Amino acid sequence: MSSVNAPASSGRSVFKGALQGTLLYSIPNIGQRLASICLLSIVTRVLTKDDFGMLSLLEQVSSVLGILLCSNVGTSLGYFYFENNSPEQRARVVGTTIVGSFCLGSLAAVLGWMGMGLIAKFIFRSEDALRYLPFVMITLPFVFVLEALFAWLRVEDRPVVFAQISLFRIGLTVAGIGVLVGVLKMRILAYLSTTLVTFVAVVAVQIWYLFRTMRPSVSWSLFLRIWRFSIPVTLSLIAMFVMNFGDQFVLRHYRSWGEVGIYSLAYRIGMLVSVAYSSFNYYWTAQVYQILRRDDADTVFARLVTYVLLMLSLVMVLMTVGAQVGLRILTAPEFRSAALLIPILAGANAMRAFGEFLLYRFMAAGKPGYRTYCDLASMMVCLALYFLWIPRFGMWGGAWATLGTFLFAVTLSVATTYRAKPYDVEGRRLLKLGFIVATILLAHYLLPSFSSLPAQIGRAIALIAFLPIGLWALRFPTLGELQLLRSAVERIAKYRYRTVSA
């Protein structure tokens, strides 16, 4: 794999669009995480560790049913949308995807309702689950449709509308959970009923906006094409689900609900790395089909690799050095042991995100099956590690198995995508980034910790600040990036001056 220094002017419109899209898509992501943090201090004082374990598995059951019945057909929308520039054909692709998603979601709900007894017996190993599973099944059709509607907004490159509707969804969720859990103490039923009402309301708003924008139509022959294209993607999602959440099912078989609850909390926080990446991923997965067809695709892709790794490194460092402080401030004492697992899971999710970024080269080439082969191979490694380490080491075995799995997955992603079509990277810049991140992590584990909260906060801030300072000292930014940063600062300063003068 060769190294390049991409010209600053190369693909400037792509970088600008990627930055704008990432920033706008990050608004609902950040809003959702802030809302979760605000609610955490409430729900962890009302819900028990067993409640957290039950909620986590209920979410995973919904995800499994969605994956098996191709709730991901919306992810295939971009490939067919950009096949033809005709507005009528694009409206047909959108309408077919949405209606087809609703049909598949209804089928998933019916099948899930029929199998609730078996799910409660073999997955939850508790009859209590039968109180909650009906809410999951009723919500499924709306989950499928909302996935397709959000995919349409991303393909149309409408991040502002995406952010507005997402914030509306977050507001409804916070209000529902805040009242039902914090005031009425409804516990698990509060989450499930709020989720159902929120999905119905957001789908209604999106359908209204869709018909204001276009007149979608339906073609069942086109739906069959979309569905066939989605099958390899479905297999990949099954593999990813096993790698992301299968550890909680295995852990529940061998350990208590309380340990599942601690592990699921640590995993959710560790997954913030992937959540941060998802803001860019919303843009990348919808626009990759156009970007990799550009004449300057090689240099643009090399620069995007650098930016993705920079973003993942920053969030991973934040999660690693700030985990103990964050949990000490936000959670009840019995949940704070999750801080020890978070750095391992954050590193694993950074690897997962970068591997997923690379594998979308196969999607853009119209070869989703190649991605599936990589994901299925990683899943086999994952299952072996789960059953080897979780029975012996519990939640620690789950964390190390996750790290080992995604290390294998990212290595396989790099090897297969490069073999399919070689690409360049900015080697010197990546070496500088790797050196700084490794230095911070070594300092975090070798330097003594502190018992007082202010000292812990100061230590975390110092380690985090070393990342931009170190990169600046090693001259990581290019001349073009420095010029863009300087002009952005000048525009902000001028805007503030005019505001104050007015």
- On the question of pLDDT at 222 being above 60, the answer is yes
* pLDDT tens for each residue of 225-239: 888 888 887 788 778
Per-residue pLDDT at 501: 53
* pLDDT tens for each residue of 141-192: 999 999 899 989 988 888 889 999 999 999 998 888 878 776 777 778 888 8
- On the question of pLDDT at 70 being above 70, the answer is no
**Are residues 94 and 82 in contact, defined by beta-carbon separation less than 8 angstroms?**
no
- On the question of pLDDT at 502 being above 60, the answer is no
As beta bridge partners, residue 425 has 3
Widest pairwise Cα distance in the chain: 69
Q: Where are the domains of the chain?
A: 1-42+247-497, 44-218
- First vs last C-alpha separation in the chain: 55
- On the question of pLDDT at 429 being above 90, the answer is yes
Lowest-pLDDT range of 194-198, 219-223, 497-501: 497-501
Per-residue pLDDT at 9: 43
- On the question of pLDDT at 500 being above 50, the answer is no
* pLDDT tens for each residue of 321-359: 888 787 777 766 777 778 888 889 999 999 999 999 999
Per-residue pLDDT at 279: 82
Residues 6+ apart with CB under 8 A from 361: 288, 292, 417, 420, 421, 423
* pLDDT tens for each residue of 182-196: 677 777 888 888 889
**Are residues 353 and 312 in contact, defined by beta-carbon separation less than 8 angstroms?**
yes
Per-residue pLDDT at 6: 47
**Are residues 427 and 5 in contact, defined by beta-carbon separation less than 8 angstroms?**
no
- On the question of pLDDT at 469 being above 50, the answer is yes
Instruction: Tell me the percentage of the chain whose pLDDT exceeds 70.
Output: 91
- pTM exceeds 0.85, yes or no: no
